[in-house]
A and B are shown apart, each in its own frame.
Chain A
Amino acid sequence: MNNVLVFPMIVPILAAMLLLFFRSNTAVQRWGSVGAMTVVFGTSVWILQQVMLHGILRLDFGEWLPPFGITFVADSFAMLLVTVSSLVTVLCLVYAAFAKDEKRESFFMYPFALLLAAGVNGSFLTGDLFNLFVCFEVMLLASYVLMTLGGEKKQLTEGIKYILINILSSWLFLLGIAYLYGTLGTLNMAHLSVRIAEAGQPPLLTTISMLFLVVFSLKAGLVLYFWLPGSYSTLPAAISALFAALLTKVGVYALFRTFTLLFYHEPSLTHKVIGYMAAATMIGGSIGALAHRDVRKIASYNVVIAIGFILVGLASFNIEAIQGSIYYLIHDILIKGLLFLLVGTIIHLTGKTRFDQESGLIANYPLFGWLFFIMILSLGGIPPFSGFAGKLFIGEGAIGAGHYGLTAIAFLSSLFVLYSLLRVFLIMFWGESSILSKNQIPLSKGMLAPLVALGIITTGLGLGMDYLSPYVSEAAHVLMNPDVYIEGALHNE
Chain B
Amino acid sequence: MRENDVILQTVSKVAVFIVLTFGVYLFLAGHHHPGGGFIGGLMLSSAFVLLYLAFDVETVNKGLPFDYKKVAALGVLIATLTGTGSLVFDSSFLSQTFAYFNLPIFGKTELATVMLFESGVALGVIGVVVTIIISISEDV
Point out residues on A near B: beta carbons under 8 Å. 1, 3, 6, 10, 13-14, 17-18, 20-21, 59-63
| Contact, CB under 8 Å: B84 / A10 | yes
Q: Which of B70, B74, B81 contacts A14 (CB 8 A)?
A: B81
**CA A452 – CA B43 in complex, angstroms?**
53
24 residue pairs A–B, Cβ–Cβ below 8 Å: A1-B92, A3-B87, A3-B92, A6-B84, A6-B93, A10-B80, A13-B76, A14-B80, A14-B81, A17-B73, A17-B74, A17-B76, A17-B77, A18-B73, A18-B77, A20-B69, A20-B70, A20-B72, A20-B73, A21-B73, A59-B92, A62-B92, A62-B95, A63-B95
Contact of B16 with A by CB under 8 A: no
Q: A390 to nearest B CB, angstroms?
A: 34
**CA A146 – CA B31 in complex, angstroms?**
36
| Contact, CB under 8 Å: A13 / B92 | no
Interface residues of B in 63-101 (CB under 8 A from A): 69-70, 72-74, 76-77, 80-81, 83-84, 87, 91-96
Q: B16 to nearest A CB, angstroms?
A: 28
**CA A13 – CA B73 in complex, angstroms?**
10
Q: Which of B74, B80, B93, B96 contacts A13 (CB 8 A)?
A: B80
Interface residues of B in 110-140 (CB under 8 A from A): none
Residue numbers in A under 8 Å from B93 (CB-CB): 3, 6, 10, 59, 61-62
Residue numbers in B under 8 Å from A21 (CB-CB): 70, 73
Residue in chain B with minimal CB distance to A23 = B69
**CA A93 – CA B84 in complex, angstroms?**
26
Residue numbers in B under 8 Å from A60 (CB-CB): 92
**A13-B76, A14-B77 are contacts. A1–B84 as well, Cβ < 8 Å?**
no
3 tightest Cβ-Cβ pairs between the two chains A and B:
A20-B73, A62-B94, A17-B77
| Contact, CB under 8 Å: B77 / A10 | no
Q: B124 to nearest A CB, angstroms?
A: 10
- Among B72, B81, B87, max chain A CB count under 10 A is at B87
Besides A14-B77, A17-B73, A63-B95, 11 other CB < 8 A contacts? A1-B92, A3-B87, A10-B93, A13-B80, A14-B81, A14-B84, A17-B74, A18-B77, A20-B72, A59-B92, A62-B94
Q: A179 to nearest B CB, angstroms?
A: 27
**CA A6 – CA B85 in complex, angstroms?**
13
| Contact, CB under 8 Å: B80 / A1 | no
Q: Which of B70, B72, B74, B83 contacts A10 (CB 8 A)?
A: B83
Residue in chain B with minimal CB distance to A2 = B92
Interface residues of B in 40-70 (CB under 8 A from A): 69-70
**CA A6 – CA B96 in complex, angstroms?**
16
Residue in chain B with minimal CB distance to A61 = B94
Q: A10 to nearest B CB, angstroms?
A: 6
Q: Which of B72, B77, B96 contacts A62 (CB 8 A)?
A: B96
Q: B129 to nearest A CB, angstroms?
A: 16
Q: B93 to nearest A CB, angstroms?
A: 5
Residue numbers in B under 8 Å from A18 (CB-CB): 73, 77
Q: B78 to nearest A CB, angstroms?
A: 9
Residue numbers in B under 8 Å from A10 (CB-CB): 80, 83-84, 93
Residue in chain A with minimal CB distance to B81 = A14
Residue numbers in A under 8 Å from B72 (CB-CB): 20
Q: B43 to nearest A CB, angstroms?
A: 24
- Among A13, A20, A21, A60, max chain B CB count under 10 A is at A20
Q: A466 to nearest B CB, angstroms?
A: 36
Residue in chain A with minimal CB distance to B91 = A63
Residue numbers in A under 8 Å from B76 (CB-CB): 13, 17
Q: A22 to nearest B CB, angstroms?
A: 10
**CA A13 – CA B83 in complex, angstroms?**
12
Residue numbers in B under 8 Å from A14 (CB-CB): 77, 80-81, 84
Q: A470 to nearest B CB, angstroms?
A: 29
Residue numbers in A under 8 Å from B91 (CB-CB): 1, 63
**CA A41 – CA B84 in complex, angstroms?**
19
**CA A17 – CA B128 in complex, angstroms?**
13
Q: A257 to nearest B CB, angstroms?
A: 22
**CA A63 – CA B95 in complex, angstroms?**
6
**CA A10 – CA B84 in complex, angstroms?**
9
